[in-house]
Structure 1
Amino acid sequence: GLFGRFQVYYVGVDVGTASVRAALVSRAGLLNSTAEEPISIWEPQADHYVQSSSEIWEKCCTVVKNLKESCWKEAAHFFDLPDFLSWKATGSLTRSLCTLVCKWTYCPPEGWDASFWTSIGLEDLLENDFSKIGSVSCPPGSPLGDGLTQEAAADLGLDPGTAVGASLIDAHAGGLGVIGADVKGFHLPCEDQPITSRMAMICGTSTCHMAISEQPLFVPGVWGPCLSAMVPGVWLNEGGQSATGRLIDHVMKGHAAYTQLQEQARQRSNIYSYLNSHLSSMADSRSAVDLLGSSLHVWPDFHGNRSPLADPTLKGMVTGLSLSQTLDDLALLYLATIQALALGTLHILEAMKEAGHDIRTLFLCGGLSKNSLFVQIHANATGLPVVLPDQMEAVLIGAAVLGACASQDYSSIQEAMEKMAKVGKVVQPDNELQSFYERKYKVFLRLFAHQREYQALMNQR
């Protein structure tokens, strides 16, 4: 397979009279590496020898850990997964700026900061111009090596020499697959604006909020700015929510009416379509579904806050519960959770705006973008139009854009994005709900303020 087979090793530990030894042994019985530590011997009186069982255990732990050091020294290269796959495909050691800049502290044009690696005890990575972690980098979509190697081509069933583009992290590929779409004729506020007026949201188990700018903008609680990490030549800021689809599933599955929901949905449609329809039937025909969430409020950080507060200690909050546990109550909690996630996106947008971003249009992709209520509420809560792609698998489109650019069928990533990313549907905000969401957002921010207040009160001595 593409990954090859992992080598299996066994650890043998020998406690001798004067030392503890450990060895890494292959399945064929070959010694890969060894480590040794001396152990103390006391002689309290003639011909009486004493050793410490506690020290022997400590030395056993030390030698086993030292075996890992041997593996560390033998490693020729360390890759992020996207770069590993590129290397397997082409044999090229060139790393993508996406992975290096976003995850590995690389900062172009200067590159690696030797003082950082030294300060954390990894100065051996500086050897040979950082060859173990990447001496050469390139923007996403750049052609790598001579394309597919003979071996990789055989594994994949493709022709040797087929162009391979420098890779992207999955969420960044999703951003690439939607953010550059040609929007002419859709009457969107971003139509006559630069691409920097758009934000891509990749919405799945968690959500990534990708915003780009011509100049570096520093947004508290948002990762970045990272140069050429998604679109070559421009800066990327990445906000995020650590649990979105996961949170919606969590609140539903933990509800007493979840089994009833499954039974009802099985007869008609999937769970989300059923709940969306059920909420419509609960709402007065003259009023929006959104208004059902007027007395149930959620702070959605059940898994901490990634952006814009960057606080993993924050917890989720729900206010407005009763003893009732009907299917209606489950539907309302589902609605309030989606509204909270949309207000969390507004919270991120506000932080980005304050730092200099001017975002006029949202581009959504990922599993949650298939949920019509999730999409409409994001438009309503933020007051921004939402663009859905023609092809829902935007991450795959983004990855294909890299290949198209590497094959030089397009002159740039920007041109490939515009030609290959297509608008599927535009969802406009309901402006009549502006006042409702302004008030709900005030409640949302107050929930956070109260949580901080509760923490402070309980930390008093």
Structure 2
Amino acid sequence: MKYTIGIDYGTESGRVILVNIENGDIVATSVTPYPHGVITGYLKNKALGKETALQVPQDYLDVLTKSIPEVIKNINPVDVIGIGLDFTSCTILPVNEELKPLCTIKKYETNPHAYVKLWKHHEAEDEAKQLNNNMQHEKWLSRYGGRISSEWMLPKIMEIANDDPALFDEIDLFLEAGDWVVSILTGSLTRNSCSAGYKGTWHKETGYLPNETLQKIHPKLENIYETKLAGAVKSTGTLAGNLTKEMSEQLGLNEGTPVAVGIIDAHAALPGVGVSEPGTLVMVMGTSTCHLLLSDKEVLVPGISGVVEDGILPGYYAYEAGQAAVGDLFAHFVKKYNTDFETLANEAKTLKPGESGLIALDWHNGCRTPYVDSALSGVLIGEKLSTKTYEIYRAILEATAFGTRVIIELFESNGIPITQVVATGGIPKKNTLLMQIYADILQKEITVVENDQAPALGAAILGAVAANAYATFPDAIEKMATKQSITYKPNKQNEQTYTQLFNIYQNLSKYFVHDTTIMHDLHNLKGENSQ
């Protein structure tokens, strides 16, 4: 019996699974929470910006040294034939020429720019606006829906260049955290095509942005792809290298074990749930939702997060869109009202669509698709003194479903058909009310994959292909992907009311984006008064 290891790095913890390559059975699982969690508010008693989200890179190595020995304790390490890894993105860290994170060097340990900037670090919003304003007529920007997010590589690098140019000059490399871990495992620098394409402006045919374009964006970016972003880009799922002797001793694995090129966490879910061809929209639902879709053609769709050739599976263009607040919005609501999900769900189930008289916008962490603007905020319309907590909860569930419908209609209106919707992650498996609401609002059947470890399984599949256990991705996916699922069918009786509510949702969205500056004015006032 042979196995691969799938490593899934999320926002709060890392998950490691041991997978039987013959049938995809998950033999063992271990989760290691990050000891330092997400650093906000203060760093070593130093106040941070309100939109700052940092992490400590040693936490990622702890996942390897704690969880890998745990999952392989009952097998012979020689039977582990490959390792695959996914990572939440865009999560970047600055390192020196030895790949040592700057935050681990004493003179930088109180400097927030020396730490990992997590994907939801939004302090680079001004830099993103500057980039977008300077580049609005550039053709390459159309591949990313016409706007770059503050969550992405270049704005975060520009933030450091603006705030601390001396530190910027001392940084040898900026790395995606997933690429850093793979490089530590193999002893050689590798950048993955998924992160480079979606978050780093890389294109398979044209490569990175030309230097004259970079100079227009920011003078500090001159030659950055030959210097601080140097390193060959390799296709996701190919061989990055082999496990070093040092790391093999720490992990209890054989030296030379093949390690696959990394992938973004949500994107790894697509092979994990069994998708290997166009037409299926995969919703990876966690703290945020990532919407992924394969196609045999490249279309420049406004407002999406990107289209990358071979971005997930070779031979296809892969599209990404997303919603910035889903699971963390629900969790925030439960904490705010000091209640629990089960109570809310039981009460919210009694409501008919539209009965509460409420509608919400789900922009509590900004809007990713289609407006790509982290300064946008949540809205609740229709609340009265008689409004119940569970009525607001249902309106928030519906709002996230309306946000997904916007994304589906965006793709379909641009000639990219969606014949099937698949949902994965812990939320769809647990929240049956939510998934029925999605089916009713989308008026499409939704298949919920029973396995909530799809990204880790997808990473393990990449590890199997990189180790040549399978000749092609379709072969590996057919054997190893999750097969258990349940299906939610749309209730036609709710279609008309939800269409009315969706039209209201769209009108509200257009008003706050195009007809007023209220949200940006409030965001700016908040920033001014927090200094």
User: For the superposition of Structure 1 and Structure 2, which TM-score range results when normalised by the shorter chain?
Assistant: 0.7 to 0.9
The answer to whether 1:109 aligns with 2:191 is no
Amino acid at match of 2:362: P
Aligned pair partner of 1:213 in 295, 316, 322 = 295
Candidates 330, 355, 364, aligned match of 1:302 = 364
Matched, 1:153 2:232: no
1:437 maps to: 498
Q: Aligned equivalents of 2:371 and 2:174: distance in 1?
A: 32
Partner SS state of residue 377, structure 1: helix
Does 1:92 pair with 2:188? yes
Equivalent of 1:321, from 383, 400, 412? 383
Task: Tell whether the 8 Å contact from 1:293 to 1:335 is kept in structure 2 after alignment.
Answer: no
In the aligned structure 1, how far is the partner of 2:194 from the partner of 2:268?
A: 10
Partner of 1:278: 347
What amino acid maps onto 2:396 in structure 1?
A: T
Structure 2 CA distance for partners of 1:69 and 1:330, relative to 1, 3 Å: closer
1:156-235 residue pairs with structure 2 within 5 A?
156-180=251-275, 195-235=277-317
Question: Does structure 2 retain, via aligned residues, the 8 Å contact 1:231–1:414?
Answer: no
**Aligned counterparts of 1:457 and 1:202: Cα–Cα separation in 2:** 31
Q: 1:371 Cα shift?
A: 1.2
Q: How far does residue 391 in structure 1 lie from its aligned partner after superposition?
A: 1.6
Tell me the CA shift for residue 135 of structure 1: 4.1
- After superposition, give the CA deviation of every residue in 1:231-261 in whole Å (9 maximum; x if it has no partner): 222112211111112222333433xxx34x3
Distance apart, 1:148 and its partner CA: 0.7
Change (3 A) 1:220 1:156: same
Taking the aligned partners of 1:382 and 1:66, their CA distance within structure 2 comes to 48
Q: Is the 8 A contact 2:440 2:495 kept in 1?
A: yes
CA apart distance, 1:132? 4.8
Percent identity over the alignment is: 29
DSSP 3-state at the match of 2:389: helix
Partner of 1:374: 434
One-letter amino acid of the structure 1 residue matched with residue 205 of structure 2: P
SS for the counterpart of 1:345 is helix
The whole-number CA distance in structure 2 between the counterparts of 1:341 and 1:92 is 41
Unmatched segments (≥5 aa) in structure 2? 1-57, 63-99, 110-160, 521-531
In the other structure, the counterpart of 1:15 is none
Matched-pair contact (CA < 8 Å) for 2:375–2:519? no
1:83 aligns with 2:182: no
The structural deviation recorded for 1:10 is: 7.1
Which of 445, 455, 459 does residue 516 from structure 2 map onto? Answer: 455
Change (3 A) 1:383 1:112: same
SS of 1:388's equivalent in the other structure is strand
| Rg larger for | 1
Equivalent pair of 1:241/1:306 in contact (CA under 8 Å) = yes
Q: Residues of 2 paired with 1:66 and 1:203: CA distance?
A: 38
How many angstroms does 1:179 deviate by?
Answer: 4.9
The one-letter code sitting in structure 2 at the alignment partner of 1:141 is: G
- Residue 324 of structure 1 deviates from its aligned partner by 2.9
**Alignment-mate amino acid for residue 368 of structure 1:** I
Amino acid at match of 1:170: D
CA 66–107 in structure 1, closer or farther in 2 if over 3 Å, else same: closer
- Give me the whole-angstrom Cα distance separating, in 2, the residues matched to 1:397 and 1:290: 38
Tell me how far 1:176 sits from its aligned partner.
3.0
Question: Which residue does 1:411 correspond to in 2?
Answer: 471
The answer (yes or no) to whether the contact 1:179–1:199 under 8 Å persists in 2 is no
> What secondary structure does 2:174 align onto?
coil
Q: Per-residue displacement from partner, 1:97-134 (whole Å, max 9, x unpaired)?
A: 111111111111232233233443333435xxx36534
Partner of 1:392: 452
362-371 or 448-457, larger mean C-alpha shift: 448-457
Shift of 1:293: 4.3
1:71 paired with 2:167, answer: no
1:123 corresponds in structure 2 to 222
Letter in 2 for 1:375: M
Q: Distance in 1 between matches of 2:214 and 2:511?
A: 40
The answer as to 2:415 corresponding to 1:356 is: yes
Structure 1 residues 340 and 293: alpha-carbon distance in aligned structure 2, compared to 1, 3 A threshold: farther
Could you give the per-residue CA deviations for residues 20-63 of structure 1, whole angstroms, max 9, x where no partner exists? xxxxxxxxxxxxxxxxxxxxxxxxxxxxxxxxxxxxxxxxxx9x
Tell me the distance in 2 between the aligned counterparts of 1:439 and 1:412. 46
Residue 486 of structure 2 is aligned to residue 425 of structure 1: yes
The corresponding residue for 1:36 is none
Unaligned 5+ residue runs, structure 1?
12-61, 182-194, 262-270, 284-288
Equivalence for 1:139: 235
C-alpha separation between the residues in 2 aligned to 1:66 and 1:247? Answer: 36
Rounded Cα–Cα distance in structure 1 between residues aligned with 2:309 and 2:249: 35
Q: Which amino acid aligns with 2:461?
A: V
Tell me the secondary structure at the aligned position of residue 144 of structure 1.
strand
How many pairs are equivalent?
A: 366
| Paired residue secondary structure (2:291) | strand
Q: How many Å separate the matches in 2 of 1:65 and 1:301? A: 31
- Which residue in the other structure is 2:44 paired with? none
Q: 1:311 aligns with which of 358, 373, 387?
A: 373
Note the C-alpha offset of 1:418. Answer: 2.6
Contact between 1:292 and 1:332, CA under 8 Å: does it hold in 2? no
Q: CA deviation at 1:69?
A: 4.9
The structure 2 residue matched to 1:9, chosen from 89, 107, 121, is 107
CA contact (8 A) 1:93 1:134 kept: no
Shift of 1:305: 1.6
- Say whether residues 1:338 and 2:435 are aligned partners: no
Write out the 4+ residue segments of structure 1 that deviate beyond 6 Å after TM superposition.
456-459
TM-align CA RMSD: 2.8
TM-score, normalised to structure 2, is 0.64
Write the deviation string for residues 56-82 of structure 1: whole angstroms up to 9, x where unpaired: xxxxxx9x956525523xx2x432111
Deviations 1:135-165 (A, max 9, x none): 42221110122x1111111121111111111
Tell me by how many angstroms 1:89 deviates.
0.8
* Matches of 2:200 and 2:510, distance apart in 1: 34
CA contact (8 A) 2:248 2:255 kept: yes
Instruction: Return closer, same or farther for 1:223/1:454 CA change in 2, 3 Å cut-off.
Output: closer
